[in-house]
Amino acid sequence: MEEQKYTAADFKSDQYVRWCPGCGDHAILAVLHKAMAEIGVPPYMTAVISGIGCSSRLPYYMNTYGFHTIHGRGGAVATGFKVANPAMTVWQVAGDGDGLAIGGNHFIHEVRRNVDLNLLLLNNKIYGLTKGQYSPTSDRGFVSKSSPYGTTEDPFIPAELVFGARGTFFARSIDVELKVSQEVMVAAARHKGTSVVELLQNCVIFNNGIHNFITDKENRADRTIHLVHGEKMLFGKNMEKGIVQDGFGLKAVELGKDGYTIDDVLVHDAHCKTNFLHQQLAMMDGHNLPLAIGVIRDVESLSYEAEVDKQAKEVQEHKGFKCLRDMILAGQTWQVK
Amino acid sequence: MVVRFSGDSGDGMQLAGNIFSNVSAGVGNQISTFPDYPAEVRAPQGTLSGVSGFQVHIGKGVYTPGDKADVLVSMNPAALKTNAKFLKPGGVAIVDIDSFKKADLTKALYQTDDPYKEIGLDAQVVEVPMTSMVKAALADTSLDLKSIMKCKNMFALGLICWLFDRPIDSAKNLLKNKFSKKPAIFEANAKVMQAGFDYGNNIQASVSTYRIESESIRPGYYTDVNGNTATAWGLIMASEKSGRPLFLGSYPITPATDILHELAKRKDLGVKACQMEDEISGVCSAIGAAFAGDLAVTSTSGPGLALKSEGIGLAVMAELPLVIIDVQRGGPSTGLPTKTEQTDLMQALYGRNGESPIVVLAAASPTDCFDMAFEAARIAIEHMTPVILLTDAFIANGSSAWRIPENDEYPEIHPHFVRPEMKNTNWRPYYRDDESKVRYWAIPGTEGFMHRLGGLEKDSVTSAISTDPVNHEKMVLARKAKVDNVAKDIPLLQVQGDLDADTLLIGWGGTYGHLLTAVNKLNAEGKKVALAQFRYISPLPVNTASVLKRFKNVIVAELNTGQFADYLQAKNPGVIIRRINKIQGQPFLVKEITDGVIKIMEEK
């Protein structure tokens, strides 16, 4: 392995981290510092851009270029930034409210355009900074300060939005899964285009234990599956279970039971162009099928800022002008002597 | 001499008017144009709501498209009905008599069989069978009837070219460019144009041709430019002079969209123009580009400016250079999308939360849009502040002849960059120049200058987040001082007209042509009136108060209920400010201003 040029400390700012003790954001921040060191892009070539919310404070804790913008607009700011300076590696940090409610429009459009950004979507299914209202990812019936009798609406499932907007990269991890989190962040950075990483994160104050069904140590091995491209989809404490195709759907089976063998288990293909199976994998929620973590979809496509740049260069080469005056003089003019 | 073309919005009146203007400019006339079109793309044919007009003023000393037309072309009874009021008494009305059948009159809601009498038309009417002449001219072509009928505007144009003694070959050349990819369509149109010209030649009897004086103007190369194009070009010039690449984040909105169109074309000069998903992402992508180090611009009209407010506040707080172009239209809400007004002034000055002073400029004419767009960019980059440039539908769509400047006629723009040695002095992003209060711009990608900006208040020393009460006040005052200091970097207010005047007429932005014409007229009648047109609104030129004090009467004329008058009054409580206002979605008529000024002068 090549020696790393940078360490996690190179990406840490001198600012005191103000998240609540026990907040899942601390773990995610620490992993991001490590992931950036592994990626190897220098801090001065890295920018972290966010909107508003607990997670959006993250840029202040980075020793990179950073911009803490306004609620929901991190994606739009990051898009303009990346188009203006495609050489920079750009990270966007958003929460479920910032990214999917007030910033929902920018979210689907940046994914559709496939701007080369790494978008960390920290999903705690609650508004923390405003002290406990339901979010667009809260389940139907969820009781919060703004839904004292339970919500009467269905949530977004972030992966579905990404696939609906023809996303080219989707990965998922959990704040407590440090290794997987680092793995998906590095993969996100290496993918050209909008890389959406959903991070299930615990809000210790207003929504403590919201992901417990998944993260609970007792059951985590049975309720999650770590997908790796090219590898069999196995899970369980002893990797004794697998995912098999079942008609148009997926099914979890135990190897050696009901005649299923290792040969029936699907091999993960994150690079498959069509997203039909990726969607099914991303929609598994830990109940009948384990929740998928790891890189679920990672396909190559044209990225927006590179195409904007390329087109400008092509046009300039074929019919470009040296300066404004030359361009105007090439049009309709007349001379007064 | 003023000509007004009117017809259905599908009749091509804008094209005919444009070609006529350009041909006139090409023979050395000054020109000023005013397209007056409906918001609907194609309203039902022949109805009153679908009428589109194009007025052009040509000759010497031309500063406005003219109050009223000497010649009105009306392609149908609806156009005549809605445009007759723009014709001078006793002027010439040219109508396509083939379109004045019973059914046409009914569609335009005439009650009688005599349309001229019914609308009280006081004109020499020239009835031309345009439709049948066009059909006859194209009888031997293979074009279908619909395509043939689309050539009618060129018959009218040919006739007008004859009437004003314009070189028809120049008109054909312009047309050839327009249809360069459709030679058959060009041939048909050129043929019809010639037929219109020849028709005029043959029927000379009824009207005499006009000869228009030309003015001796500054030598150089000229082109015809409208305000939106001039705005786009001014920004490109600023990009060349500052060395900062030009980025536009925008969303289509009438009447500002042409700026997006022009800059999208200018990939040939390396411009990056992005059509974003909404107005908010328009401004926010521009803020991102500004952070990245570009000359960043967003263009819009009033409703879009409302949506951008929060974003502009972020640029105030992050102290990034940002140019916001607001092509004002009639409001509030969707209002009158295609009509002109000056009603966004208060929104531009104050339409944000918190104490958020910014620079506000206003362009005075179509060609001044170039200079003021350049100024907006220069001030934004050199003073690290958002700048709103107010133009309006009238100057954005109106055009004038413009001398193409030499490259050295505009100054270099000096971005307020961090200096390399600052790296070793524990530099922070909110460190300011002591005198100007301008912070330093560090471009991402530069080693040693990593920093974090954001909408939260920052400590004046450490640049970290701060809620300290005294620090907040200090930062608010620093941001205000920075914008106030721009006053030292802009020209003084100029006063034009009678030097012994005791009455000062004040305008701002796009009303300049009308106000200047009005003052010239009043001076010619011996009335002692001077003119001051503001192009720098916030901050005001430093001599504003002293200029105002010199006059007995101070009158502000503007296309709103008195927004600039209120603003000036608040800053000059000792001066009695009188007002002339109009809020009809239309520019002033010169007569409205002269009448208003005389009335106020006679009161005293």
Least confident window among A246-260, B27-41, B277-291:
B27-41
Mutation for B interface: A79, A92, A303, A335, most B CBs within 10 A: A79
B424-469 per-position pLDDT tens digit: 888 999 999 999 999 999 999 999 999 999 999 999 999 999 999 9
Contacts of A202 (CB under 8 A, 6+ apart): A23, A24, A124, A175, A176, A208, A209, A210, A211, A215
Question: What distance lies between CA A38 and its chain's CA centroid?
Answer: 18
- B444 contacts A88? CB cut-off 8 A: yes
pLDDT of residue B543 exceeding 80 = yes
- The pair of structure tokens assigned to B59 is 């000759």
Chain B stretch 444-503, residues whose beta carbon is closer than 8 A to a beta carbon of chain A: 444-456, 464-465
* Residue A301 host element (H or E): none
Question: Is residue B243 less than 8 Å (CB to CB) from chain A?
Answer: no
Q: Which residues of A touch B452 (CB under 8 A)?
A: 13, 59-60, 62, 65-68
**pLDDT band at residue B41 using 50, 70 and 90 as cut-offs:** confident
Same CATH fold assignment for domains B219-488 and B496-603: yes
- The pair of structure tokens assigned to A276 is 């039909």
- The pair of structure tokens assigned to B15 is 């094209």
Report the C-alpha dihedral over residues B472, B477, B480, B486, rounded to 10 degrees.
-130
The alpha helices in B429-579, defined as continuous H runs, are 469-484, 512-524, 544-549, 563-571
Q: Is A36 exposed, middle or buried (0-12, 13-18, 19+ CB in 10 A)?
A: buried
- The pair of structure tokens assigned to B86 is 């723009």
The predicted structure's pLDDT at residue A3: 66
Q: Find out if CATH 3.40.920.10 is the number for domain B2-203.
A: yes
Contacts of A279 (CB under 8 A, 6+ apart): A159, A160, A163
Q: Are B266 and B259 in contact (CB under 8 A)?
A: no
Pick the CATH number of B496-603 from 3.30.420.40, 3.20.20.140, 3.40.50.920, 2.60.40.1120: 3.40.50.920
Question: Is residue B278 less than 8 Å (CB to CB) from chain A?
Answer: yes
Question: Is residue B307 less than 8 Å (CB to CB) from chain A?
Answer: no
The predicted structure's pLDDT at residue B138: 92
What is the least distance, in Å, from the CA of B281 to any CA of chain A? Answer: 5
Q: Could you count the other beta carbons within 10 Å of the beta carbon of residue A251?
A: 14
Q: Is B423 exposed, middle or buried (0-12, 13-18, 19+ CB in 10 A)?
A: middle
For chain A, 337 residues long, give each residue's pLDDT as a single digit of tens. Answer: 556 799 999 999 999 999 999 999 999 999 999 999 999 999 999 999 999 999 999 999 999 999 999 999 999 999 999 999 999 999 999 999 999 999 999 999 999 999 999 999 999 999 999 999 999 999 999 999 999 999 999 999 999 999 999 999 999 999 999 999 999 999 999 999 999 999 999 999 999 999 999 999 999 999 999 999 999 999 999 999 999 999 999 999 999 999 999 999 999 999 999 999 999 999 999 999 999 999 999 999 999 999 999 999 999 999 889 999 999 999 888 888 7
Tokens 């109508």 belong to B95
The predicted structure's pLDDT at residue B10: 82
pLDDT of residue B362 exceeding 90 = yes
Q: How far is it, in rounded angstroms, from Cα B315 to Cα B321?
A: 7
Domain boundaries, chain A: 8-238+266-301
Q: How far is it, in rounded angstroms, from Cα B476 to Cα B387?
A: 18
Across chain B, mean pLDDT equals: 94
Q: Which residues of A touch B240 (CB under 8 A)?
A: 323-324
- The pair of structure tokens assigned to B273 is 């123009």
**Closest by alpha carbon to A199, among A220, A175, A170, A178?**
A175
B493-515 per-position pLDDT tens digit: 999 998 899 999 999 999 999 99
Which contacts qualify for A148-151: CB closer than 8 Å, 24 or more apart? none
Question: What distance lies between CA B179 and its chain's CA centroid?
Answer: 27
- The pair of structure tokens assigned to B239 is 């990009």
Question: What distance lies between CA B386 and its chain's CA centroid?
Answer: 21
What is the least distance, in Å, from the CA of B330 to any CA of chain A? Answer: 28
Domain boundaries, chain B: 2-203, 219-488, 496-603
Q: Specify the fold of B219-488.
A: Rossmann fold (3.40.50)
- Per-residue exposure over B260-275, b if at least 16 CB sit within 10 Å of its own CB, e if not: bebbbebbbbbbbbbe
What is the least distance, in Å, from the CA of A124 to any CA of chain B? Answer: 23
What is the pairing mode between strands A195-200 and A117-123?
Answer: parallel
B200-258 per-position pLDDT tens digit: 888 764 565 666 666 667 889 999 899 999 999 999 999 999 999 999 999 999 999 99
Task: Find, in chain B, the residue whose alpha carbon is nearest to that of A50.
Answer: B454
Backbone angles phi, psi at A300, to 5 degrees: -90, 140
**Closest by alpha carbon to B540, among B491, B476, B481?**
B491
Peptide bond into B332 cis (omega under 30): yes
Q: How far is it, in rounded angstroms, from Cα B269 to Cα A302?
A: 23
Q: Find out if CATH 3.40.50.970 is the number for domain A8-238+266-301.
A: yes
Peptide bond into A136 cis (omega under 30): no
DSSP state of A100: I
